[in-house]
Amino acid sequence: MCGLYNNRWGGFGRIGLLLLLLCISIIAFAAYQLFYISAPAVNGIEGFHYLTADNTIPLIGKNIRSLEISIYQEGKKIDLLMDAPEAEEKTYSIQVKPKDIGIKDGKAVITIKAKSGMLKKVQYDIETVIDTVPPTIDIVAAPPYISAGTGGFAVLKASGEDSVFIKIVDKVTPSEDKIFKAFNMSSGPSLNANPAGQNTRTMQHAGRLTVHTYYVFFPAYYDISDGSVFYAVATDLAGNRSIRTLPTRLKMIKYKTSSMHVDDLFIHRVVSPLLNETNIPDAAGAFKKANEELRQQSLKKLREIAKQTETGILWEGSFLQLKNSKVMATYGDRRTYIYHESPISKSVHLGYDLASVENAPVEAANRGVIRFAGDLSIYGNTIIIDHGLGVMSLYGHLSAISVHEGQKVAKGEIIAKTGATGMAGGDHLHFGLLIHGYEVSPLYWWDPHWIRVNVTDFFTQ
Of residues 343, 310, 286, the one with CA closest to residue 215 = 310
Integer Cα distance of 237 and 46 in angstroms: 13
Q: What pLDDT is attached to residue 133?
A: 93
Topology (CATH level 3) of domain 257-442 = Glucose Permease (Domain IIA) (2.70.70)
Topology (CATH level 3) of domain 136-251 = Immunoglobulin-like (2.60.40)
Residues of each domain in the chain carrying CATH 2.60.40.10: 136-251
Residues of each domain in the chain carrying CATH 2.60.40.3880: 41-130
Topology (CATH level 3) of domain 41-130 = Immunoglobulin-like (2.60.40)
Question: How does pLDDT run along the chain (461 residues), one tens digit per residue?
Answer: 444 445 554 555 677 666 666 666 555 555 544 445 578 889 999 999 999 999 999 999 898 889 999 999 999 999 999 999 888 889 999 999 999 999 999 999 999 999 886 667 889 999 999 999 999 999 999 999 999 999 999 999 999 999 999 999 988 777 677 999 999 998 533 333 333 333 444 334 334 478 999 999 999 999 899 989 999 999 999 989 999 999 999 999 989 899 999 999 999 999 999 999 998 889 999 999 999 999 999 999 999 999 999 999 999 999 999 999 999 999 999 999 999 999 999 999 999 999 999 999 999 999 999 999 999 999 999 999 999 999 999 999 999 999 999 999 999 999 999 999 999 989 999 999 999 999 999 999 999 999 999 998 887 66
Integer Cα distance of 28 and 302 in angstroms: 64
Integer Cα distance of 42 and 56 in angstroms: 16
Of residues 143, 168, 145, the one with CA closest to residue 243 = 168
Q: What pLDDT is attached to residue 204?
A: 43
Integer Cα distance of 389 and 230 in angstroms: 18
Q: Which long-range contacts (CB under 8 A, 24 or more apart) does 171-179 make?
A: 171/225, 171/227, 171/228, 171/229, 172/225, 173/225, 178/221
From first CA to last CA, the distance across the chain in angstroms is 114
Integer Cα distance of 191 and 204 in angstroms: 10
Query: What number of other Cβ atoms are within 10 A of residue 99's Cβ?
Result: 12
Contact between 119 and 65 under an 8 Å Cβ cutoff? The reply is no
Integer Cα distance of 63 and 45 in angstroms: 16
CB under 8 Å to 456, separation ≥6 — which residues?
A: none
